[in-house]
Structure 1
Amino acid sequence: MARYLVTGGAGFLGGHLVESLLAHGHDVVALCRGEEPSLAARGVTVRRGDVLDAASVRDAAAGCQGLFHCAGKVSRKPEDAEELRRLHVEGTKITLDACKDAGITRVVYASTSGTVAVSEYPAHIGSEEDETPIALLSRWPYYRSKLFAERAALERNTEGFSVVSVNPTLLLGPGDTRGSSTEDVRLFLERKIPAVPAGGLSFVDVRDAAEAMRAAMDRGEPGQRYLLGAINLTVRAFFERLERASGVKAPWLPTPRAPLFARRGAEILGRVSSQLGLDVSVDPVSLDMAQYFWYLDSTRAETVLGWSPRDPQKTLVDTVDDLRARGIVWPSPASTR
């Protein structure tokens, strides 16, 4: 068994990864900005620090054989661009360099499928070797920052210091206590999405993504990325599956697939929804992203890592049940059939 450092261990993916590592008998050190008593109660060694503070990273990494770098922030707000750049890009550089100095020899970096697998065309299924769609990513600060962070991580892949990138698509499943990934499902359940965007998406169970991270530490090829997704769906098909999982009626109003629509869409939908008496939460960036197709092929992860996703419908059911059980959404007659 090994001793691993995990950054972002209190987050959605990081929390499930910690659980998986403990279940397989590994020792886990979590670099956290706060006390995180829930991690300590499970036998995790919690070290106070920050991915932007090299000294605290080196201290936490002492005695560890590998690093799982999961720390990050999910935000679609343009005003968060600089914070996202510092946390993802600079934080990745500082953390990996400090871990190398501390004697760690292998890193699994948690990236996102959005660094490569997004297209204007529904027929395109993204692979690890695709050219980066930089013209699209430059419009979305989160994905732009993750792209440059991933590049910084893989540039550090050298002899004696192996770096592997794992690139999950939209993470769903139970335990998203910070609402970082399941926010769109919450909005659906509360009927705050009045229209159906014209694009397509992929999603994967966070528990399966955590297992892929763990497998990548042992079997991932240095310098490579591994896309993770359970299914590719149009947004309409995704909403139909959510309707079956939750009993909440899916929206029916389609949105046109036009570049200018995303820029004015929030204002237009706000007016229409007000006339229909609906309470909505729509932002231009989300509308813009939903015009595109985030499809991908997970064959490399399945072949090299021995990974396979669970039934995606079960993931949706578990996501809905968890949100309701934690009181994040309240069932009401107005939100169901």
Structure 2
Amino acid sequence: RLLARDPAKVDRVFAALGAPAPDRVAGDVLDPASVARALESCDAVVHAAAVVTNERKRAQEVLDTNPAAARVVLAAAVAAGADPIVHVSSVASLFPPPGPVIDPSTPVASPTSAYGRSKVGAELVARSLQDDGAPVTIVYPGGVWGPHDPNLTEQVRAAGTLVRSGVPITSGGLTVLDVRDLATVIARATVPGQGPRRFLLGGHFFTTPELADLLEEVAGRATRLPSPPRALRTLGRFNDLLMRVIPADLSITYEGMVFLTRGVPTDDSATLEALDVTLRPAGETIADTLRWLLDQGLLRPRHVPRLA
């Protein structure tokens, strides 16, 4: 059963997947009454709803929604006796880390971005319930790629931008996590009687030169753009200001460039071993993402000649 603000959207999304739509309850994660209706007779709960964006113009919406949603949903799940209660957090709640790798021992961070701070707020709610012994399982995904993205999230939009406009060759790097691998981890983590658990799942990490090489191999095109990290962050700040006055949705934002230019890998080995999961090759994920963007008319054949 799904809790959805727009029940009709559920039908559209599942039709695109060729799958039957599940039962749904109309409501909002900030409304305790609709959350309680959605949880009636449920054995387990997966809380994956969040406002996911690094756009500064939506910063207050992010801060107002994500921690409050965690409080409402997780508390209701505990009250309903659900086991397990899976909370989908984010690597952003652990960024920036104190070392060169994010691993299961990495503490909750003090991020500067609104999205990161919102996920920290939600994270602290989940950890508090874990400390009380509630059967809360926390999953920390990295940058999620993949086809059939009904909201055209920033990571998937960025994939299109990289092949259309070029790959900034700079410091840091980014992770590529297939949405289908994330779904497998969530499904395998939804097992009762395990108590509080945490699973880190950042995905494959690539420096920007490595990503350019892989895009060229998969799509047949990758323009390399040498880009000083400070210049990228400055451009992101400018775009943030620009989007306040014009109706544009620019892919280069300040917070996005912070994540890129200071990105580090994650050590997912404990998660993959515990849940017996093997991540699919990143090239497969990237190819499927770009093919879907091409099918949706968001890329042209000249952008991805090897996939057209």
TM-score after normalising by structure 2? 0.85
Q: Distance in 2 between matches of 1:78 and 1:170?
A: 19
Q: 1:216 to 1:117 in 2, by over 3 A?
A: farther
Q: Which residue of 2 aligns with 1:14?
A: none
Q: Unaligned 5+ residue runs, structure 2?
A: 240-249
Q: Which residue of 2 aligns with 1:186?
A: 160
1:317-332 alignment runs, 5 A limit: 317-332=287-302
1:133-144 alignment runs, 5 A limit: 133-134=109-110, 137=111, 139-144=112-117
Q: Deviation of residue 323 (structure 1)?
A: 1.0
Which of 86, 95, 113 is the matching residue for 1:108? Answer: 86
Q: Deviation of residue 129 (structure 1)?
A: 0.8
Residue 61 (1) aligns with residue 36 (2) = no
Q: Distance in 1 between matches of 2:11 and 2:59?
A: 31
1:197-216 alignment runs, 5 A limit: 197-216=170-189
Q: Which residue of 2 aligns with 1:12?
A: none
Q: Which residue of 1 aligns with 2:55?
A: 77
Q: 1:267 to 1:195 in 2, by over 3 A?
A: farther
Residue 46 (1) aligns with residue 21 (2) = no
The answer to whether the 8 Å contact 2:136/2:195 transfers is: yes
The answer to whether the 8 Å contact 2:167/2:212 transfers is: no
Which of 76, 91, 95 is the matching residue for 1:98? Answer: 76
Q: Distance in 2 between matches of 1:60 and 1:83?
A: 23
Q: Which is further off, 320-329 or 33-42?
A: 33-42
The answer to whether the 8 Å contact 1:173/1:315 transfers is: yes
Q: Distance in 2 between matches of 1:158 and 1:266?
A: 38
Counterpart of 1:290 in 2: which secondary structure?
helix
Q: 1:187 to 1:120 in 2, by over 3 A?
A: farther
Q: Distance in 2 between matches of 1:51 and 1:281?
A: 27
Q: 1:220 to 1:199 in 2, by over 3 A?
A: farther
Q: 1:211 to 1:263 in 2, by over 3 A?
A: closer
Q: Distance in 1 between matches of 2:183 and 2:193?
A: 14
Q: Distance in 2 between matches of 1:83 and 1:265?
A: 23
Which of 129, 138, 142 is the matching residue for 1:165? Answer: 138
Q: 1:281 to 1:80 in 2, by over 3 A?
A: closer
Residue 31 (1) aligns with residue 3 (2) = yes
Q: Deviation of residue 95 (structure 1)?
A: 0.9
The answer to whether the 8 Å contact 2:203/2:266 transfers is: no
Q: CA RMSD in A?
A: 2.6
Q: Which residue of 1 aligns with 2:107?
A: 131
Q: Deviations for 1:272-326, whole angstroms, at most 9, x for unmatched residues? A: xxxxxxxx85333322322102310111111222222111111111111111112
Name the % identity: 25
Runs of 4+ in 1 over 6 A off after TM superposition: none
The answer to whether the 8 Å contact 1:202/1:231 transfers is: yes
The answer to whether the 8 Å contact 2:84/2:193 transfers is: no
Q: Unaligned 5+ residue runs, structure 1?
A: 1-28, 270-279
Q: Deviation of residue 160 (structure 1)?
A: 6.8
Q: Which residue of 1 aligns with 2:118?
A: 145
Residue 311 (1) aligns with residue 252 (2) = no
